[in-house]
Structure 1
């Protein structure tokens, strides 16, 4: 969720860029060059809960579409009070250039828990977190879900919006106002269209209009207002969804000016989908090709904020980038390379054990200029071909194994921005999938080239 588009906040970012140096572009794991950068916050869940963690996770991007998890996808800070866990984190740059992080006080999925509080941290640079506290928002017998914040210049205060059930009997978007995220005014209704709404996300001051996106009936819907006054927003957009979708997050590309609307499927399956619009006022969205974006592993209910290039570099230096990679299929971009029962294949994300899709691209066992795919979950095992099919096998130290487990990385056969992998000892054959199972084959047709093309990311 993002409200970094408030013109006054963009002014803060611009001033900081002038002081701290250039912005970020280029490969997510490389040293940043001039250009934009973004940070994402999230918590994690996976289908069998093996990847569930209710602390604050961070990832970075130079295009707001392809994300690199930090700290090995482990949390950078975890609540110590309340339920001891968070959901729905939100990162905002305050007027003084520092950050505040707020989040739902809930560990797990016991929706019957009714916390009147939210978690709060202060941070100068997202490399350390201070002043941890919980902020009470109301006295009602209801929750305080998915809090977000925005700067209301007319009031000279920050607004905190969140979902709660009030006297209407359904979820509405509430608001409290604060100067310091330590104390807040009494709660009042910010948006109540007469039906259940949760997960409010604001873009403030876009050509003089404010936009509020929210979840209604498993879809993402937008409302707008010329002011930020409670009760002033009216619904205008065409709903979008991909199955049951929640957690809308509005992000504007700092380079193209296009808008992206992120949402994720609820339940622990947590798949992010993205839509694009060249004009937020139109209220219509076009799905983004899944080849163009990659969510952080097991991520749920994200928040996105603009950062400077120096901040990007400092975050990468502080937390590090993953020691592992994931390989996405070109023609089935919802699927990733994994092993299952020691057979190499591509399966639809997400799945458990999720570690079966994590690989170390080690120097080739037979040729150091090539690569060998070492399993993270079974580190004594590598992908090798046997009768042209890929298996996960223990390195027996033989030259035959080393050759079978070595591949030469080339430009993607279907897209040169992606990668393909040629067998070292059968150089007329490439790693590909057939009926979702990995093998090595000669490649000649367009379908085969697509089958043999992968993106190497995180």
Structure 2
């Protein structure tokens, strides 16, 4: 059966777990729910800001590592007051099982703008965001209110909103609230004697963990407290850093209970790298670096948060907002590189880059064989990835038999990794799409080819 382009794309993204029917949703308390997937909030930027969007973006993941943007990576809601944009959106499941989102009141790169407010949205099930408002956190002049995080303080019976501020130095302030409408007066929450930024806080087993950036040396650290009270934390980890600079620490307990992840965002506003560590013991100083091959953040995503969600919530948000109708191809052996077109050549380049849409493809039934696949450019519609003289390029479809054959590939298990994909040429069936010197081409390959050649021909179909 020949599938429609839309149906085929969803099939290619079946790992995200879309179901055909909507599931009735009833909020469950955090302690009663079983989480089978994850939802991420973020905003977007790209190197030349062509993809900059300061609304609330959502993505979903089954494994917590590889993400699919919702709503075609467009915002689901955008602030209508204050700076008319948000950064650092933090989603939190409240005690009654519903959600609240708090976010920095800031549009773009105007970091000299010092708002006293945070944006706030309510959501029952993440399919709509209502009750939009701003809450005033302090009355200080020329003091920012950045990167909020939220946790439930059981001792107080209230929610704590902790955020970065720069009163006497860069430190964390806290306000307490029961309704995310009125808040207590701010007080210093963590000021360890050096400037800090970007708190994330998680309560587990009676211990409150706080992860943060030390601005003095640029590393991420973890601190902990037996009470979660202000000024009660002791740092217990060594400094963590990947890349040239890092911030935006986000701590996440895995849904399967087997351990924790710690995400870090690249420091530069024109760099969209995320980095990841894992541990099976949050109380130990034992974080391990994960290979970028193992995870793929949403396209152009910046500083956000992640929450575990139920099967009903997952199905609800996918039904409401929709999965991408495009894919990206990630290199197995150069996992920070993606397939893109540039001046009609097809190559792999290190992400991020602009124009960012050069890496977006509609994976459709094969032009010469609907059992195969063809790749149509998103930003040059009607043009397809094809080989010519064994070299891949982007050309407009002239509907000739030769073009259709050159632009058709059979998707197989990855030659280097069966969980990934390789693409065998339709009209040269011993040849596979691979990169060589960063340029894509087709070459004869098999299971007996060298490991390096098989790796060059292995890609993750992601979004």
Mark yes or no: TM-score above 0.5.
yes
Structural RMSD (CA)? 1.3
What is residue 4 of structure 1 aligned with on the other side? Answer: none
1:450 is paired with a residue whose SS is helix
Distance 1:408 1:244 in 2: 41
Distance 1:246 1:152 in 2: 25
Distance 2:148 2:411 in 1: 45
What is residue 175 of structure 2 aligned with on the other side? Answer: 176
What is residue 346 of structure 1 aligned with on the other side? Answer: 348
Render the CA deviation track for 1:15-68: whole Å, top value 9, x for unaligned. Answer: xxxxxxxxxxx8214339996211100000000101100000000111111111
Question: Residue 422 of structure 2 contacts residue 458 of structure 2 at CA under 8 Å; is this kept in 1?
Answer: yes
What is residue 138 of structure 1 aligned with on the other side? Answer: 138
Q: CA offset at residue 216 of structure 1?
A: 1.3
> Which has the higher mean CA deviation after the structures are superposed, 232-241 or 84-93?
232-241
Distance 1:87 1:109 in 2: 10
What is residue 364 of structure 2 aligned with on the other side? Answer: 362
Distance 2:18 2:96 in 1: 29
What is residue 86 of structure 1 aligned with on the other side? Answer: 86
Distance 2:121 2:275 in 1: 28
Render the CA deviation track for 1:190-224: whole Å, top value 9, x for unaligned. Answer: 000011101100011x2321110011132211111
What is residue 446 of structure 1 aligned with on the other side? Answer: 451
Render the CA deviation track for 1:291-332: whole Å, top value 9, x for unaligned. Answer: 111100000002001111000000000000000000100101
Render the CA deviation track for 1:234-272: whole Å, top value 9, x for unaligned. Answer: 111111111211101111112252110001102221211
Distance 2:257 2:149 in 1: 26
Matched, 1:39 2:27: no
What is residue 10 of structure 2 aligned with on the other side? Answer: none
2:82 is paired with a residue whose SS is coil
- 1:287 pairs with 286, 289, 292, which one? 289
Tell me the number of residue pairs that the alignment of Structure 1 and Structure 2 aligns.
430
Distance 2:87 2:109 in 1: 9
Distance 1:256 1:359 in 2: 36
Distance 2:65 2:411 in 1: 24
What is residue 316 of structure 1 aligned with on the other side? Answer: 318
Question: Residue 42 of structure 2 contacts residue 58 of structure 2 at CA under 8 Å; is this kept in 1?
Answer: yes
Question: Residue 63 of structure 1 contacts residue 253 of structure 1 at CA under 8 Å; is this kept in 2?
Answer: no
Distance 1:257 1:160 in 2: 28
**Which structure 2 segments of 5+ residues have no match?**
1-13, 24-33
Q: For 1:420-431, what aligned pairs fall within 5 Å after superposition?
A: 420-431=422-433
**Which structure 1 segments of 5+ residues have no match?**
1-25
2:16 is paired with a residue whose SS is coil
Q: CA offset at residue 366 of structure 1?
A: 0.8
What is residue 403 of structure 1 aligned with on the other side? Answer: 405
What is residue 192 of structure 2 aligned with on the other side? Answer: 193
What is residue 241 of structure 2 aligned with on the other side? Answer: 241
What is residue 457 of structure 1 aligned with on the other side? Answer: 462
Q: For 1:50-129, what aligned pairs fall within 5 Å after superposition?
A: 50-129=50-129
Distance 1:123 1:390 in 2: 46
What is residue 5 of structure 2 aligned with on the other side? Answer: none
Matched, 1:30 2:32: no
Distance 2:413 2:123 in 1: 41
Distance 1:245 1:83 in 2: 25
1:402 is paired with a residue whose SS is helix
1:72 is paired with a residue whose SS is helix
Q: For 1:250-261, what aligned pairs fall within 5 Å after superposition?
A: 250-261=251-262
Q: Relative to structure 1, is the Cα distance of residues 151 and 49 closer, same or farther in structure 2, using a 3 angstrom cutoff? A: same
Distance 1:126 1:78 in 2: 15
Render the CA deviation track for 1:392-436: whole Å, top value 9, x for unaligned. Answer: 001111111111111111111001111000111111110000011
Question: Residue 90 of structure 2 contacts residue 149 of structure 2 at CA under 8 Å; is this kept in 1?
Answer: yes
What is residue 161 of structure 2 aligned with on the other side? Answer: 160
Q: CA offset at residue 349 of structure 1?
A: 0.7
What is residue 208 of structure 1 aligned with on the other side? Answer: 206
Distance 1:371 1:315 in 2: 28
2:221 is paired with a residue whose SS is strand
Distance 1:184 1:436 in 2: 54
1:316 is paired with a residue whose SS is helix
Q: Relative to structure 1, is the Cα distance of residues 432 and 311 closer, same or farther in structure 2, using a 3 angstrom cutoff? A: same
What is residue 6 of structure 1 aligned with on the other side? Answer: none
What is residue 264 of structure 2 aligned with on the other side? Answer: 263
Distance 1:271 1:338 in 2: 17
Distance 2:416 2:95 in 1: 46
> Which has the higher mean CA deviation after the structures are superposed, 218-227 or 250-259?
250-259
Distance 1:88 1:284 in 2: 27
Render the CA deviation track for 1:91-112: whole Å, top value 9, x for unaligned. Answer: 0111111111100000001111
